[in-house]
């Protein structure tokens, strides 16, 4: 058994698709399939159930997926600790939303790449609501995520931006809810208004609490995985959405939506970088965290104006 086979299996467990896993590992499908078959032969058990369309882990496969991540993390820590080199080598995986990738990654990675040019950077984008869980499960080393004020105690978090959460409406035919709407009239004002909201995450938790506080029975027209999708659907006139102002400011559809005249009183959206505390023992991750912590770049405040 070698670390490459374990890495292949971890990616297969994440994607549950041989072709996509092979592409992510930068090997041919036949090489990837042979690697998994050799792993099963060495362990003497079936790890995945295959058919023409899907891949599913067996019970033994699920057990290996958990152990394999721990083995690779420990191996990386050990291999780096015994290297007597001036320059660190290895890889660092980062998870973030599409907006975060072009809003923050340059500032975050510029100094790090200069200080550690031999460290390979892998960036995966997706729903920001999944960021913290991907770090907790060991799928990623680092994630750009929102702080929901209830972070697990084993996570370290450093804030890099703050942005209000804002209601947005189509540029043409906006919903006519006045900024002066009294709290006692909110339930009536928003009655029948179709909302486009995130499926989960900080923004969804806060707007749900706001609905409850003001006794609003929301009409949920659609739920989206990702704030960019919310902006897109609002621009098409499907309803009122709730997004961080920083997403709105950086959206290519900025001129097709506008902020609703009435805005909810919600706590600002704190964005930062998070990592598992135990993973800071890895020299690569520790080097990244130390450079990030020593950065003099001030926290960004996004007004949404």
Number of domains in the chain: 3
Quick one: 278 and 241 in the same domain? no
The Cβ of residue 255 has, within 10 Å, a number of other Cβ atoms equal to: 9
Quick one: 279 and 153 in the same domain? yes
pLDDT of residue 295: 61
Quick one: 144 and 181 in the same domain? no
pLDDT of residue 80: 60
Whether residue 299 contacts residue 162, with contact meaning beta carbons closer than 8 Å, is answered with: yes
Supply angle C-alpha 231, 235, 241, rounded to 5. Answer: 45
pLDDT of residue 81: 61
pLDDT of residue 127: 87
What is the tens place of the pLDDT at every residue in 75-127?
Answer: 776 666 655 455 788 899 999 988 888 888 888 888 888 888 889 999 999 88
Quick one: 64 and 43 in the same domain? yes
Domain containing residue 16: 1-82
According to the per-residue pLDDT averaged within each range, which of 28-37, 45-54, 207-216 is highest?
207-216
Find the DSSP H helices in the chain: 3-15, 18-25, 29-43, 59-82, 98-103, 105-115, 131-136, 186-189, 202-213, 227-235, 245-249, 283-293
**Nearest in space to 271 (alpha carbons), one of 181, 218, 201, 216:** 201
Whether residue 99 contacts residue 252, with contact meaning beta carbons closer than 8 Å, is answered with: no
Quick one: 49 and 179 in the same domain? no
Determine the average pLDDT of the residues in 29-57. Answer: 87
**What b-and-e string marks burial along 18-33, b requiring 16 or more CB atoms within 10 Å of the CB?**
beebbebbebeeeebb
Instruction: Pull the structure tokens for residue 65.
Output: 């997926």
Quick one: 172 and 262 in the same domain? yes
pLDDT of residue 83: 54
CATH number for position 120:
3.40.190.10
Indicate if the pLDDT at residue 223 is higher than 50.
yes
Indicate if the pLDDT at residue 299 is higher than 50.
no
Quick one: 43 and 66 in the same domain? yes
Quick one: 135 and 179 in the same domain? no
DSSP structure class, residue 188: H
Whether residue 10 contacts residue 4, with contact meaning beta carbons closer than 8 Å, is answered with: no
N-term to C-term CA, the chain: 56
What is the tens place of the pLDDT at every residue in 181-197?
Answer: 999 999 999 999 999 99
Cα separation, 145 vs 96, whole angstroms: 7
Determine the average pLDDT of the residues in 16-28. Answer: 86
pLDDT of residue 261: 95
**Nearest in space to 146 (alpha carbons), one of 290, 244, 231:** 244
């Amino acid at each position: 058994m070698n670390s490459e086979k374990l890495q292949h299996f971890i990616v297969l467990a994440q994607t549950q698709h041989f072709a996509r896993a092979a592409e992510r590992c930068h090997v041919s499908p036949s090489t990837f399939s042979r690697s998994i078959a050799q792993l099963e032969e060495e362990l003497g058990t079936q790890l995945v159930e295959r058919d023409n369309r899907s891949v599913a882990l067996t019970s033994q496969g699920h057990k290996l997926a958990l152990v394999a991540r721990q083995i690779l993390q420990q191996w990386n820590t050990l291999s780096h600790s015994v290297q007597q080199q001036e320059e660190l080598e290895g890889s660092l995986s980062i998870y973030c939303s599409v907006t975060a990738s072009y809003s923050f990654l340059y500032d975050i990675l510029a100094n790090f790449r200069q200080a550690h040019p031999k460290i390979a950077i892998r960036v995966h984008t997706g729903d920001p609501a999944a960021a913290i869980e991907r770090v907790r499960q060991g799928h990623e080393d680092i994630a750009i995520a929102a702080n929901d004020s209830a972070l697990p105690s084993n996570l370290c978090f450093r804030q890099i931006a703050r942005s209000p959460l804002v209601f947005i409406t189509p540029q043409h035919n906006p919903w006519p809810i006045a900024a002066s709407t009294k709290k006692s009239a909110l339930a009536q004002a928003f009655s029948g208004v179709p909302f486009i909201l995130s499926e989960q995450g900080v923004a969804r938790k806060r707007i749900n609490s706001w609905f409850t506080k003001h006794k609003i029975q929301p009409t949920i027209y659609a739920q989206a995985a990702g704030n960019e999708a919310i902006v897109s659907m609002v621009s098409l006139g499907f309803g009122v959405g709730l997004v961080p102002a920083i997403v709105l400011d950086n959206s290519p559809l900025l001129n097709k939506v506008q902020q609703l005249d009435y805005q909810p009183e919600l706590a600002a959206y704190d964005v930062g970088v998070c990592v598992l505390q135990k993973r800071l023992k890895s020299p690569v991750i520790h080097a990244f965290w130390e450079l990030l912590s020593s950065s003099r770049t001030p926290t960004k405040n996004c007004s949404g104006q």
